[in-house]
Chains A and B, each alone.
Chain A
Amino acid sequence: MNSRPNPLTDPDAFALSVNRRTFLQRSAYGLGGAALASLLERSLGVSAAQVGTPPSWRGVLREPHFPVRAKRVIHLCMAGGPSHLETFDWKPKLKALHDQPFPESFTRGQQLAQLQNKVLKARGAFCKFTACGKSGLEISDLFPRIQSIADELCVVRSMQTEQINHDPAHAFMNSGSIVKGRPSMGSWLMYGLGAETENLPGFVVLTSAGKYGLQPVSARQWSAGFLPSKFQGIQLQSRGDAVHYVGNPEGVCQSTQRQVVDEINRLNGMLATDHVDPEIHTRIAQYELAFRMQSSVPELSDFSKEPKKVLEDYGVKEPGDGSFASNCLLARRLAERGVRMIQLYHRAWDHHGDIERAMPAAASDVDRPTAALIRDLRERGMLDDTLILWGGEFGRTPMGQGTGRDHHILAFSVFMAGGGVKPGISYGATDELGYRSVDNVVSVHDLHATMLALMGIDHKRLNFKFQGLDARLTGIAGNVVKPLMG
């Protein structure tokens, strides 16, 4: 039979659920002494700022299931749910029907959000679309710079989700489940693949906000759920300490902090000679890592060495101002430093009303930085193994809601770029009014399965025993959408 360790029957997956300490420590008795030694070695050896040879730790997958196309993900989450009808899904028929009653044959018996119990009228796109690049991808004129990189994009026009309100829809997009306490995509990736750096968290979240259409997001969107908290996303703050508690206390300089950490570890080392408890060794290693993180995080957010031209390309007005532009630049720096999953939330897309003013504003927040990020990664040779995902938690109704559009789950668009996706294509289609995805429908689980496949992971084989089940990101569903892969 198969001699390769099989993650499904892999003893450590079970050990994890039975006794997590076992996982962290390889066994309660520190059988992983060698592993610990190498952890310490890594912690002490390499200079903190050395980009390119960051220390790493491995996930549960020892060998990829598929060829690895992408090593990391940058998810540009357009929180609030951008209209597909004004981004990537041009519907001339809808435009023609503008302000006319929306055909009931489409909507009968369907779930609506704020349009419940309302008269439904068609609302055509308020902006023009242009066929761009060699690929001729149709992209809304609200995004001139994204238009200019059309040939890098792999647009999916036939997305569907299951949740029509922001909170559960985000949860579904991030964790594949609406039940709370499920790990998010980034946590699954860390669990499966480990990280290429230990100087920084392996899963980083940045948030920014536009002028209109703001909706809250919850830290559960980057929670490790039932996976160990080691795998949780760490939100970098735009003000104060970038990572909570990463700054030294008031009145403590870095050299004193070093002395404190040394003394803690010296005493912990003495304890270890007296007590058989491998957690002590882990603790010592974690203090080393913590101290290194304290040094690496400030370096990460120091943009002073970025050329002026780069700042201009991204549209960064003031580095570290918490704007989407600044976050995109930070995302590139995180990617360079081996962070596995980088998630940017831009809260600006909930356009129930005044869409003609609000959506151009949101588009102008993200258009330039998104295009600059993709181009920058391309120029640095990093786009090939960096998977970009751009999109919201759902789409918006082709029916108008006053001066805007309501939430919509039957159709929306996202795009991917880099990381082994087929560039310059569109996939799937909605019906003539953009109401329902009809051709090559892609579910959120399919999207997850495809993303994992690009990372070299068979989504059916990345499991964690939880409450007696082999839980996975895609639940019991999900099909890899091969035509999206280059």
Chain B
Amino acid sequence: MQTPFRSQPRAVRALGLMALAASAIHAVAADRVEYNRDVRPIFSENCFLCHGPDKNTRKAGLRLDLPEEAVRAGKSGKIAIVPGKPAESELVRRLVTSDADDLMPPPETHKQVTAEQRETLRRWIAEGAVYQPHWAYIAPTRPAVPQGGTKKGTSATKAGNPIDAFIDARLALQRLKRSPEADRATLLRRLSLDLTGLPPTPAEVDAFVRDRSADAYERQVDRLLRSPHYGERMAVPWLDVVRFADTVGYHGDQNVNVFPYRDYVIDAFNRNKPFDQFTREQLAGDLLPGAGDEARVATAFNRLNMVTREGGAQPKEYLSKYAADRVRTVSMTWLGSTMGCSECHDHKYDPFTSRDFYSMEAFFADVKQWGVYNDYDYTPNPDLKGWSNDHPFPPEIEVDSPYLRRQASQWSQSMRAVEARVAKDATRGALREAFVNWRDEVRASLVRQPEGWFSPKPSRETNSVPILISDSAVVSPSGTGEARNGESVIRIPVSELGQGTLAALRLELLPDGANAITLSGGSTTIRPSFQWVDAQGKATSARIRFAEANLSEPRYANGHEMLGIQDGWKTSSKRSKEPHVGVWLLQSPQRVTTSLALRVTLRTDQIRNFRVSVTPLAAAYPLASGQRADTAEALSPGKSGDLAKAADALALPFLLGSDAPAIVEARKEWQTAHGRWLECRGGRSPVVVTAAWKPVPVRVLPRGNWQDESGEIVSANPPRFLPRGELPNSDSLNRLDLANWLVSPANPLTSRVFVNRLWKQFFGTGLSAQVDDLGAQGEWPTHPELLDWMAVEFREKGWDVRHMVRLIVTSGTYRQSANLRLELKDRDPNNRWLASQNPRRLEAEFVRDNALAIAGMLNLEIGGPSAFPYQPANYYANIQFPDRDYRSSASAEQYRRGLYSHWQRTFLHPMLANFDAPSREECTATRTVSNTPQQALTLLNDPTFVEAARVFARRLLSGSDTTDAARIRTAFRLAISREPRATELASLTSFLQLQRVEAAKQPTDAARLVSVGQWPAAKQSPIELAAWTQVARVILNLHETVTRF
């Protein structure tokens, strides 16, 4: 067998051997040649391109994919296949002829049928040339579970699990048995990483190792299946196929509001939503009777395709791109089929026609969308009038976000905690004097103006447009035309207030009789600027913390509605006849000094009248600033009353209004919490959804050319050659019909495709390796009966995903040791018989999660908006429209799980990209698993992993261990769920000693290393911590740490 390869390099020889070994797998049970298993792959690889389904590339009028065609005399009068008579079959002759003109495949194709393959074809014809329909297109029926096999013997054999029966039967043909079960610690680490993406804690491992009950393992399975992190882990591959990302992908790659869909997916897996319902909701949730928010959020699925708002893009061209993308995604995700090929021509290997492709497109013809999400003069788009690059991508709805609600409540508690502390300190602590002074000043000022807002009459500054100023301090720009087209600049003599501080500013835009606040009657955007001017005329900008208005229209920044009006106030056009009131909270209170004035500058070309006021009393909701019912009593002049009661009522206005140095820290703390609370937007979030509108006609586009309108109009229909099941014969099928058809018992593909992908998730390779193509070019499954058994089980048990997962992970096959078996390296080089488990590197997200979990810093919150892990500076420099900056998340959000990472399609986070996460521009059913220097660089040097190492080191040093050896043991148990071997312990111990010496030599470096990242600094000695940080880096970089065995 080796002879033909002898003259070639070693690697080539090895590969050749492997190929032969691979075909040997099939040859074993083959007393008879089978079309699907043995012949179709040869035809598909070598013949169908010219003698297959695509009429445009067909040569000599010959089709080999259809039996009735292949046995017919061709143009030459010769017959390609004469069943039972290879000698008379032209096909056989053409494979071996020495006439270069006749030889098949033609030499110029560089395709080659091997001698072994020729023999297979010859035998097949000799045995009668029996065709079989392609296996994946015949609805699966439940095969009998093999009996016997290797049931007794190893403890790995879990009697009764049908998976094992199929696997064992196949192994038995080879006279092989499964490997023994992995040891308990390995098993639990495998199970935890596979089911939740998180490593087990040492306590969990210990408990399992000690648990001698018969169902110890099953109970671990149940525990992990019930974990809320199960949904997170299961979501990841689904998010790949549906191409979930935070940005639109084309051109400016702007943000899109979509995270609630991710939450929906996580939740669906956690609640074990039946896969048929999961399918219906995503494709057609809006069409379900009584569709609530959940089903509507699910329909974001139809909006996850890449979209553009590039100037000069043709809407029609992009609508055609979007439609094709949807067909590719749906056909790959549910049908495991590469329908994308049929956009331009009939599929060359499978029976999908171009018409099928556009008939599938037609299901989505009612999805409300725009080709170009903008309004340009060359492509006017009245629906999106005034749209810019910062706008969202409609249609959207607003929904509850449980994560944001939890966060809002947490931050609001933080605010209240600060207020309570201040109240306490104001009564009897360090702040008592400051409080009493502040209250006295405010009381004094309230004597003049009980409502707390002061409007001293301003004067006009010389650079102002002409204005009139009334006695009630109302300012009215008075010029006309050009003269009015500028800024009103006024100076307000706030020193008139006497002793005290100011905490908030108010701007009122006032209508004038029946006239609106603006000259046009429509909306205007203003950006007032506020400056403090002292006695010497020196001006400093008043720093603003936050501002809001009673009436405004939304403004957007890169897809998100901007919070507050501090960066611009767009007035209401609908309610422009009502007074508009805006209040600006100051970053820190301003002491009123002699001659202090407030200068206000604003563009007033559209503004009729305005008035500016100031107050010492600020509130959490800016509009509630000024005197209020709940503060009135505590501030009423003359009453001294109960100080504690006053402090309770006044804690917040005091906190925001006092300029005492002792309160600065508390104010900062409160403001941070307040800022974060605001960002939670009341626990609500917008999300893109599917809204139906009038379906647009869908045509077959010849050669996929969107400008060619000569093709016929098609109605929504599934591919013609697949069984329709209950689907009515109608020209008005909709997305719900499609969803129902996908999960109907008649559909031969959906359940197989799903369980095959699931298999890959737990074993590394699908039962049919090509999980994204079960068609003719895919792979004949290694265990076809098992695949069918599982497909039927999945469907008949109510599309119960968790049931299938449990079946897999409780099988003895899954529980085997992952030590590859050297004696099988030639017979089964890719371990497709599964005589052992396969070790597998963790996926990108879980590489991150695992490191943070080991360090004890992983944020285990579920759901919510995407987070921004540290990222190299300027990584988004090449993104524009709008220009992008990247601010890494603060506090706990920095440590969120990898699946919540902001997914920028055009520039995926380098850590994710280096570990093979897809950009999710296109449906991806298979992630490559590479092993590259970039991965080493990431684990060694990415600040995320360096920070994790130093926090891990701190964890080791602050634990109960007291010796180096004990700490190294703990580190191993945390990272890889096992004790170090003696050699490992010795090696790391001496490495630690060396690092202590090194760190002591460079104490400044040590200090820098142990302060990487924003995690609070540790109290341990930087030298000791630095040495342990290097140990932790080594452990986080180990192959074993990023691999599940």
Show the binding face of A for B, using Cβ within 8 Å: 1-3, 5-12, 14-15, 17-22, 24, 26-29, 31-32, 34-35, 62, 109, 111, 113-118, 164-168, 178-181, 207, 214-220, 223, 226-230, 232, 234, 237-241, 243-253, 255-257, 259-261, 263-264, 266-268, 270-271, 274-277, 279-280, 282-284, 286-287, 289-291, 293-294, 345, 347, 352, 406-407, 458, 460-461, 467-469
Known: A260-B940, A279-B1043. 18 other contacts (CB 8 A): A15-B19, A18-B765, A20-B929, A27-B18, A27-B829, A114-B376, A164-B314, A216-B879, A220-B905, A237-B874, A240-B872, A244-B875, A256-B998, A276-B819, A282-B931, A283-B1039, A286-B932, A461-B110
A216→B879 CA distance, assembly (Å): 5
Instruction: Decide if B987 touches A266 in the complex (CB within 8 Å).
Output: yes
Residue from A215, A253, A460 within 8 A of B1002 (CB atoms): A253
Within 8 A of A (CB), among B1012-1035: 1012, 1026, 1030, 1033-1034
B946's closest neighbor in chain A, by CB?
Answer: A249
Complex alpha-carbon distance, A334 and B938, angstroms: 23
What chain A residues lie within 8 Å of B313 (beta carbons)?
113, 165
Bound Cα distance from A239 to B873, whole angstroms? 8
Query: In the bound complex, how far is the Cα of B840 from the Cα of A362, in angstroms?
Result: 49
B924-959 residues at the A interface, CB under 8 angstroms: 924, 928-938, 940-943, 946
Shortest beta-carbon contacts, A-B, top 10: A468-B777, A113-B312, A251-B1008, A29-B825, A251-B1009, A218-B906, A180-B921, A290-B936, A11-B19, A468-B773
B625 at interface by CB-CB < 8 Å: no
Tell me whether chain A's interface is mostly helix, strand or loop, or mixed: loop
When distances are taken between beta carbons in the complex, the residues of chain B under 8 Å from A26 are: 11, 14-15
Interchain Cβ contacts under 8 Å between A and B, 12 examples? A111-B707, A167-B250, A179-B340, A218-B879, A240-B872, A243-B937, A244-B938, A251-B1010, A279-B839, A283-B931, A468-B775, A468-B776
Q: Is the CB of B349 within 8 A of A114?
A: no
Which chain A residue has the least Cβ–Cβ distance from B380?
A117
Determine whether the beta carbon of B312 is less than 8 Å from that of A407. Answer: yes
- What residues on A are CB-neighbors of B873 within 8 Å? 239-240
Residue from the list B111, B252, B829, B1012 in contact with A28, Cβ < 8 A = B829
B949 (CB) vs chain A CBs: closest residue: A249
Judge whether B461 is part of the interface by a CB distance below 8 angstroms.
no
Q: Which of B603-611, B650-658, B911-919 contacts A (4 or more CB under 8 A)?
A: B911-919
With a CB–CB cut-off of 8 A, which chain B residues contact A18?
A: 765, 769-770, 779, 830
CA distance A252 to B878 in the complex (A): 30
B61 within 8 A of A: no
Q: Is the CB of B1007 within 8 A of A7?
A: no
Q: Which residue of A lies closest to B706 (CB)?
A: A111
Instruction: Give CA–CA (A270, B311) in the complex, Å.
Output: 58
Q: Tell me which of B422-430, B676-684, B988-996 binds A.
A: B988-996
Specify which of B19, B707, B924, B1039 is in contact with A271 (CB 8 Å cutoff): B1039
A62: B residues at CB distance < 8 A: 9, 12
Is B1040 an interface position by the 8 A CB rule? yes
A344 to chain B, nearest CB (A): 13
Q: How far is the CA of A259 from the CA of B32 in the complex (A)?
A: 60
Chain B residue nearest in CB terms to A475:
B344
How far does the alpha carbon of A286 sit from the alpha carbon of B933 in the complex, in Å?
Answer: 5
Give the distance in Å from the alpha carbon of A113 to the alpha carbon of B315 in the complex: 10
Please, which residues of chain A bring their CB within 8 A of the CB of B922?
Answer: 179-181
Q: Which residues of chain B come closer than 8 Å to A268, judged between CB atoms?
A: 1038-1040
Assess the A286–B935 pair: CB atoms within 8 A.
yes
Q: Are A217's CB and B878's CB within 8 A? A: yes
Partner of A249 from the list B19, B839, B941 (CB cut-off 8 Å) is B941
CB of B1045 closer than 8 Å to a CB of A: yes
What B residues does A266 contact at CB under 8 A? 987
Residue of A nearest to B19 (CB): A11
When C-beta atoms are compared, the residue in chain A nearest to B249 turns out to be A180
- Complex CA distance for A245 and B1037, rounded to whole angstroms: 14
Q: Mark B881-917, 1 if CB is under 8 A from A, else 0.
A: 1000000000000000000000001111010011010
Is there an interface contact between B18 and A15, defined as CB atoms closer than 8 Å? Answer: yes
Report the interface size class on chain B.
35 or more
Whether a CB of chain A sits under 8 angstroms from the CB of B184 is no
How far apart are the CA atoms of A17 and B765 in the complex, in Å? Answer: 11
Q: Which residues of A contact B1008 (CB under 8 A)?
A: 250-251
Is B515 close to A, CB under 8 A? no
Bound Cα distance A237, B878 (Å): 11
A282 to B930, CA, bound (A): 10
Please, how many angstroms separate the alpha-carbon atoms of A17 and B777 in the complex? 12
B1033 / chain A contacts, CB cutoff of 8 Å: 260
A142, B994: Cα distance in complex, Å: 62
On whether the beta carbons of A14 and B1005 are closer than 8 Å, the reply is: no
- Contacts A219-B907, A249-B946; A20 near B9 (Cβ below 8 A): no
Instruction: Assess the A467–B773 pair: CB atoms within 8 A.
Output: yes
Smallest beta-carbon distance A327→chain B, Å: 13
Contacting residues, chain B, for A31 (C-beta < 8 A): 14, 17-18, 825, 829
B147 located at the interface, meaning its Cβ lies under 8 Å from any Cβ of chain A in the complex? no
Contact A270 B984, CB 8 Å, known A216-B253, A264-B1034, A468-B338 = yes
* Chain B residues closer than 8 Å to A223, beta-carbon distance: 919
Are A207 and B338 interface neighbours, CB within 8 A? no
CA distance A11 to B306 in the complex (A): 35
Given contacts A6-B112, A259-B998, is CB(A245)–CB(B938) below 8 Å?
yes
Question: Is A276 in contact with B987, judged by CB distance below 8 angstroms?
Answer: no
Chain A residues, CB < 8 A from B941: 241, 245-249
Q: Which residues of B contact A406 (CB under 8 A)?
A: 312
Select from chain A the residue with minimum beta-carbon distance to B111. A8
Contact indicator A280/B998 (Cβ below 8 Å):
no
A263 touches B1034 (CB 8 A): yes
- A245 cross-chain contacts in B, Cβ below 8 A: 872, 910, 934, 937-938, 940-942
Bound Cα distance from A234 to B914, whole angstroms: 10
Return chain A residues, CB-CB under 8 Å to B872. Answer: 237, 240-241, 244-245
Q: Tell me, yes or no, whether B341 is within 8 Å of chain A by CB.
A: yes
Q: Is there a chain A Cβ closer than 8 Å to B378's Cβ?
A: yes
> Cα distance A341–B943 when bound, in Å?
29
Interface centre among A178, A264, A274 (most CB of B within 10 A): A264
Those of B235-255 within 8 Å (CB) of chain A:
249-253
- B308 at interface by CB-CB < 8 Å: yes
Output the nearest chain A residue to B926 by Cβ-Cβ distance.
Answer: A226
Q: Which of B750-784 contact A (CB under 8 A)?
A: 765, 769-770, 772-773, 775-779
Greatest chain B CB density within 10 A among A22, A114, A255 is at A114
Instruction: State the Cβ distance, A142 to closest chain B Cβ, in Å.
Output: 24
Query: By the criterion CB–CB under 8 Å, are A275 and B819 in contact?
Result: yes
Q: How far is the CA of A113 from the CA of B352 in the complex (A)?
A: 33
Cβ contact within 8 Å between B1038 and A118: no
B880 on interface, CB distance cutoff 8 Å: yes
Q: Give A116's nearest chain B residue, CB to CB.
A: B378
Tell me whether A468 and B18 are in contact in the complex, defined as CB-CB below 8 angstroms, given that A2-B112, A181-B924, A252-B1009 are known contacts.
no
Smallest CB separation, A44 vs chain B (Å): 14
- Tell me whether A20 and B928 are in contact in the complex, defined as CB-CB below 8 angstroms, given that A32-B11, A245-B941 are known contacts: yes
A217 closest partner in B (C-beta):
B878
Q: Which of B313, B770, B772, B1043 counts the most chain A CB atoms within 10 A? A: B313
Most chain B CB within 10 A, of A22, A244, A266, is at A244
Whether A275 contacts B252 by the Cβ 8 Å rule is no
Q: Is the CB of A1 within 8 A of B112?
A: yes
B765 touches A216 (CB 8 A): no
> Distance (Å) between the CB of A334 and the closest chain B CB?
17
Contact call A11/B18, Cβ cutoff below 8 A: yes
A290 and B1039 in contact, given A28-B831, A115-B378 (Cβ under 8 angstroms): no
CA distance A460 to B105 in the complex (A): 15
CB distance from A414 to the nearest CB of B (A): 21
Check: B8 CB closer than 8 A to any chain A CB. yes
Chain B residues with CB under 8 Å of A283's CB are 931, 936, 1039
- The closest CB in chain B to the CB of A20 belongs to B928
* A270 in contact with B19 given A116-B378, A286-B931, A469-B341 (CB within 8 Å): no
Once the chains bind, are A287 and B776 in contact (CB under 8 Å)?
A: no
Contact B821 A251 (CB under 8 A): no
